[in-house]
Amino acid sequence: MLDNLVARASIGRVTDPLARRLVRWGVSPDVVTVVGTVGSVAAALWFLPRGQLVAGTVVVTAFVLCDLLDGAMARVRDAGSRTVSQFGAVLDSTCDRIADGALFAGLAWWSLHLGDQPRTAVAAMTCLVSGQVVSYLKARAEASGLSANGGLVERAERLILALLGTGLEGLGVPGALAVALWLLAVGSVVTLGQRLVAVHRSAAAQAGDAGGAEEPGR
């Protein structure tokens, strides 16, 4: 939902100047991707299970912003090298899945062992699994030449809701994390259904086009 031209333009005003500077210094977008992933995973698995929710929210958010920066750097550095851009896209997608998994695993651990909120842990694990499946569905569909774009909750919404709930819970707002994660869990399941419908329609449209192309030869 947030992945639109207006949002990209607004974010680009902040990330593009820094991206151009890093590229001039010879920094690779892939390095930024890996550093952001390692940092967010370490922060999620260090701070959250220890109950340091505010610190975890701040540090994870800071490293997650690297995901915006590496894309801007790749666009700035793009010199038509198709192999490099393809590898960077695969690396970025893989690292996103790792970072998301660590975040929700850390939240599940806190919910079970420190927060005494087993139902919240269920929501966290639902978010973890459904988020991974939503992303896999899109990748698998695109590999088959089908479309699976859009949906109620994409990665940006997952991170915003999860980190907002985590930060508020850490600041003493009771139930903030539970509400955020259950909203996210329901939204992620809805998104999965929306993308399955989109894939079905895309496949049906391709089948219709193929049938129309064969008709004159009969």
Q: Write down the pLDDT at residue 100.
A: 95
* pLDDT tens profile 8-63: 555 566 677 887 888 888 888 888 999 999 999 999 999 999 999 999 999 999 99
Residue 107, domain member (yes or no)? yes
Q: 168 is in which domain, residue-wise?
A: 5-211
Residue 172, domain member (yes or no)? yes
Nearest to 161 by CA among 149, 150, 169: 169
- Cα–Cα separations (whole angstroms), residue 209 to 149, 202, 215: 20, 11, 10
Q: Is 96 a catalytic residue?
A: yes
Residue 217, domain member (yes or no)? no
CATH of residue 173: 1.20.120.1760
Task: Tally the residues of the chain.
Answer: 218
Nearest to 100 by CA among 182, 52, 37: 37
CA distance 26 to 22: 6
Domain count within the chain:
1
From 96, 100, 116, 209, active-site residue = 96
What is this structure's pTM? 0.86
Residue 29, domain member (yes or no)? yes
Residue 216, domain member (yes or no)? no
Q: Write down the pLDDT at residue 214.
A: 56
Q: Write down the pLDDT at residue 155.
A: 87
Q: Write down the pLDDT at residue 5.
A: 45
State which residues of the chain have pLDDT below 50.
Answer: 2, 4-7, 80, 83, 218
